[in-house]
Structure 1
Amino acid sequence: MIITTPAPESAVGHVAAMYAGDIETDGFVYRHTRAMAVNPEAHAAFEDLVHAITPSIGPRIYELVTLAAAGAIGSPHCLLAHGRKALRGGVIDEEELIRLARDPEDAGLDPAEVAVMRFAVKLSTAAGEMTDADSQELRDAGFTDRQIVDITLAAAARNYFSRALLALSVDVDEVPGLTGRVTDALLSPLTR
């Protein structure tokens, strides 16, 4: 990454809070955090968007959408970070995460969860080809209008964040707390 990022020792305001969160959790500041700290207002707006989306769909659906979109985009940063977040938040256990990272259609998820992941993948790879039929699949799975919009926003938000990191060539940090099996499974979509 060729951009100069704010140094931790001189960070103030939202940047200081971003860095402190990483240091408190893992003892260091992630490279992706430093990249996003160049525009702390945009990062804060992204966080606000996520906080507005999650209540209607819940943390499990949010993480499933995020993992599906990150895998479709090819974002190791977001696959690793959100794999760990899903584990730590208790919304997915390790064996389930390994199975869904390798093949969501055969991971034992309920049909509504599979539909959500399929929707996020299509939004991330062929958004221009989406039709009402894609949203209808979510409606048929039991999601409300608000939830359909928020699932869409969650996948689109992941596209924004993941693609920014990829476009800036941000190096991927090792994410503490993930076993080798989980890391390999999470990164498996990148080798398909």
Structure 2
Amino acid sequence: MDADRTAPDVGFLRPAAPSPGAQRLFAGDRAEVGHVMNLSHAWAHLPDAHEALFRLLGEAADAAGVSFRQRGVLVAAAAAALRDPHCALAWGTRLAGETDPETAAAVLEGDDTPLDPTDRALARWARKLVHDPNATDPGDVQALRDAGFDDARIAALTLYIALRIAFSTVNEALGARPDRELFDRAPAAVRGAVTFGRPVAGRPEA
């Protein structure tokens, strides 16, 4: 465990036993974001599953034919609907970089007005899968077709969002707090929109 990662920040599980998979996971975090993320301490118990999950996420995103911006719309909308502060901060920041902070904050708050029709359809589909997948209807699928997605891409979109929901569920259920670095890097508008979930690590209210 990194010296600056205290047990309350990383969640409810005891530290995972050292393993090559856990070392790869932690090294990947350090290379990508400069530190080991709190949620990765839980996934260190299942590093092979983490690798398989993200490999499948990549395959689903590729099959859906979505751009990086569109992935940001999907994940930000789903994460906020699920009240997951980790992915909301991370992907809200990425979406802000692809659009602007105000647009990213609007998506996190459930307001799709700044989005174009295609991105609006993606955000709405993501939220529907979080809130009640049994409530979708043929009109919802047709809206995606009208936005330019064929049925194979719609299936891939649905898989991508469902996998993101699974990832968020594990992180939240096992008690990891959002990294302070995620919060500090996020634009002010994004920080202001993420008012849900577990408190940010290292902040007084935590």
The two structures share one fold, judged by TM-score above 0.5: yes
Match status 1:182 vs 2:201: no
Identify the residue that residue 131 of structure 1 maps to in structure 2. 137
- Check 1:104–1:77 CA distance in 2 against 1; reply closer, same or farther (3 A cut): same
Distance 2:69 2:156 in 1: 13
Distance 1:129 1:33 in 2: 33
CA RMSD between the two structures: 2.0
Give the TM-score normalised by structure 1: 0.85
**Shift in Å, 1:118:** 0.7
Identify the residue that residue 112 of structure 2 maps to in structure 1. 105
Structure 2, gaps ≥5 residues long = 1-10, 198-206
Instruction: Show CA shifts across 1:61-109 (max 9, x none).
Output: 222111111111110011112223334xx43333322333234322x21
Counting only pairs closer than 5 Å after superposition, residues 57-72 of structure 1 correspond to structure 2 as: 57-72=66-81
Instruction: Show CA shifts across 1:14-60 (max 9, x none).
Output: 32222112223443211111111210121011111111022222222
Identify the residue that residue 86 of structure 1 maps to in structure 2. 95
Structure 1, gaps ≥5 residues long = none
Counterpart of 1:81, as a letter, is A
- Check 1:171–1:188 CA distance in 2 against 1; reply closer, same or farther (3 A cut): closer
Identify the residue that residue 30 of structure 1 maps to in structure 2. 37
Q: Which secondary structure state, in structure 2, belongs to the residue aligned with residue 166 of structure 1?
A: helix
Identify the residue that residue 125 of structure 2 maps to in structure 1. 119
Distance 1:27 1:45 in 2: 23
Name the % identity.
Answer: 31
**Shift in Å, 1:159:** 0.9
Identify the residue that residue 158 of structure 1 maps to in structure 2. 164
Give the TM-score normalised by structure 2: 0.79
Distance 1:189 1:119 in 2: 21
Runs of 4+ in 1 over 6 A off after TM superposition: none
Aligned length in residues:
183
Q: Which secondary structure state, in structure 2, belongs to the residue aligned with residue 117 of structure 1?
A: helix
